[in-house]
Amino acid sequence: MNENKTGPTEVPVEEFLASVEHPVRRADGFELLELMKSVTGQDPVMWGPSIVGFGRYHYRYGSGREGDSAAVGFSPRKANLALYGLTYGPDTDRLLPVLGKHKTGAACLYINRLDDVDRDVLAGLIRSGYQHVMAELHTP
């Protein structure tokens, strides 16, 4: 069985965020850090070199592959902010249309900057996604 490429590291989250070159992404990263910490009640952990994760869940696929992942998280990338785990919750279909400017991918939500979205709606997506992942996808 293959090992996960992205696992938790000991790198301090604040150190990673301080190293983000783009000033808006860096500032948005620190704001997301506080928002996700507040909503999830979890301390942040670096997953791999560039994902700030909150909470941890264990998954097991029918194929037998299993591993651990952050329940929700984000990465301040060059082109945008990638947010993980926010599109799984039961409130996604109701909240995404009123979030503001964004794009979605297979399991990601992409925003250019936090000023493009409604912070309260974003907090709702974080809450819904986190609760769903921990209640429905976590397999102890």
Tens digit of pLDDT for each residue in 82-137?
999 999 899 999 999 999 999 999 889 999 999 999 999 999 999 999 999 999 87
Average pLDDT rounded to a whole number, residues 35-39 = 98
pLDDT at residue 1, rounded to an integer: 41
Domains of the chain: 13-137 (3.90.1150.200)
At 4, the pLDDT band (50, 70, 90 cuts) reads low
Q: Say which residue the tokens 């925003």 belong to.
A: 111
pLDDT of 5 higher than 80: no
* Residues in contact with 63: Cβ distance below 8 Å, sequence separation at least 6, in sequence order: none
Residue 86 has what DSSP assignment? Answer: T
Instruction: Count Cβ atoms below 10 Å from residue 91 Cβ, excluding itself.
Output: 16
Mean pLDDT is lowest, of 9-18, 58-67, 114-123, for 58-67
List C-alpha distances in Å: 30 to 53, 63, 124: 13, 38, 19
At 9, the pLDDT band (50, 70, 90 cuts) reads very high
Distance CA 104, CA 96 (A): 9
pLDDT at residue 66, rounded to an integer: 85
Residues 67-82: tens digit of each pLDDT: 899 999 999 999 999 9
pLDDT of 3 higher than 60: no
Of 43, 117, 41, nearest to 83 by C-alpha is 117
pLDDT of 29 higher than 90: yes
pLDDT at residue 2, rounded to an integer: 47
* Residues in contact with 88: Cβ distance below 8 Å, sequence separation at least 6, in sequence order: 107, 129, 132, 133, 136, 137
At 52, the pLDDT band (50, 70, 90 cuts) reads very high
